[in-house]
Amino acid sequence: MKNIITILFTLLVFNSNAMEKTVFDHSISLANGEALNLDKMKGKPILFVNIATRCGYTGQLDDIEKLYQKYKAKGFNVVGVPSNDFGSQTPEQGKDIVKFCRLKYGVSFPITKKVPVTGKSKHSLANYLVSISGGKEIGWNFEKFLFNGNGKFVSRFTSSENPVGGTLEKKVASLLN
């Protein structure tokens, strides 16, 4: 009987580990409607940032782009995920969000379609980001979620965390070394 229990427990642990999801198991579309192929980012760290165009933190787009430019040759990826959930601070749609980010802040990293990141209708990727990072709902624009090259969650950063020169940049650099 003890051997049967041990075997069942081993199978349960093996199956739960085999079924463990990573960020690569999720999908989201780019602002132009094309699917963002997260599989192409396998083996490289990814930073997901819920962005907005009319927020007090919107200026962080400049530093997020600087961080991306500094480390992209080493494989670092950034994905901007616009939302209108906080004070309706992203009134634009799709390509207009991208145009704003590119023209005003020089953003070159991918930007997804605008999606809900809170509430019952939040996008499945946002739901995953929240659940994998401890279950606390996204509280404002420009929260950041860092994953390693294997798609495993590394750390979550608040809106006030500056992308350059602090803990976030140090964690990115450590994932690339």
| Dist CA 137 CA 60 (whole Å) | 21
For residue 16, how far is the Cα from the chain centroid? 24
The tokens describing 18, both together, are: 């085999």
Active-site pick, 36, 47, 55, 126: 55
d(Cα 38, Cα 141) in Å, to the nearest integer?
A: 22
Residue 33 DSSP SS3: coil
The token duo for 66 is 């600087």
Spatial neighbors of 32 by CB under 8 A, at least 6 apart, are 94, 95, 98
Question: Catalytic annotation on 55?
Answer: yes
**Contact partners, residue 27, CB within 8 Å, separation at least 6:** 35, 36, 38, 124, 125
Angstrom distance (rounded) from CA 68 to CA 31: 19
Positions annotated as catalytic residues are 55
